[in-house]
Amino acid sequence: MEDVTLHYEAFPAEAQVRFIEDSLVGHNFAATGIGEYFPVGLFLANARGECLGGLTGYTWGGWLHVKFLWIASVLRGQGHGTRLMDAAEAFAVEHGCPRATLETFSFQALGFYQKRGYEVFGKLDDYPPGHTKFYLRKALQERT
């Protein structure tokens, strides 16, 4: 076996990150036989094309997983989070995913997600210290 080194990179190259992600996704496909994977990327932009928020995630295995949802502070409370979540959930249903999952922290948007029908199924207290990380899920309804 060849000598293998371990090194730390604070800002790894996008190609390295992509290699690790693609390799794990490939393993998951092989292990489960489920290959239907679709990235989700929805973004808000102003007239100049500047990004003011967005949602990223993916659908796989019958689930939508929302990885990140962020909106610039000047746009919060104006319905943009709802627009992004509605679009992501509709995308998921169109791609055969009847369920959704995401994580949020106690200092983020737990109430927003609960109003949308997400339920807490797990939590990690004191992460970060003094706060809680929540794990949520929701059964999605097909839109008519």
Rg (CA), the chain: 18
CATH of the domain at 99: 3.40.630.30
Q: Does 25 map to a domain?
A: no
**Nearest C-alpha neighbor of 137 from the set 103, 109, 112, 93:** 103
**129 located within any domain:** yes
pLDDT, tens digit, 9 for 90 and up, residues 1-41: 789 999 999 999 999 999 999 999 999 999 999 999 999 99
Q: Which two tokens stand for residue 18?
A: 């992509």
60: β partners: 37, 63
Q: Is residue 9 part of a domain?
A: no
Residue owning tokens 């999605």: 140
How many domains does the chain divide into? 1
For the chain, the farthest-separated pair of C-alpha atoms sits apart, in whole angstroms, at 58
- Confirm whether 116 is domain-assigned: yes
Domain interval for residue 49? 37-139
Are β-strands 37-45 and 99-105 bridged in parallel, bridged antiparallel, or unpaired?
Answer: unpaired
Instruction: Give the tens place of pLDDT for each residue, 94-127.
Output: 999 999 999 999 999 999 999 999 999 999 999 9
Tokens of 141: 């309804």
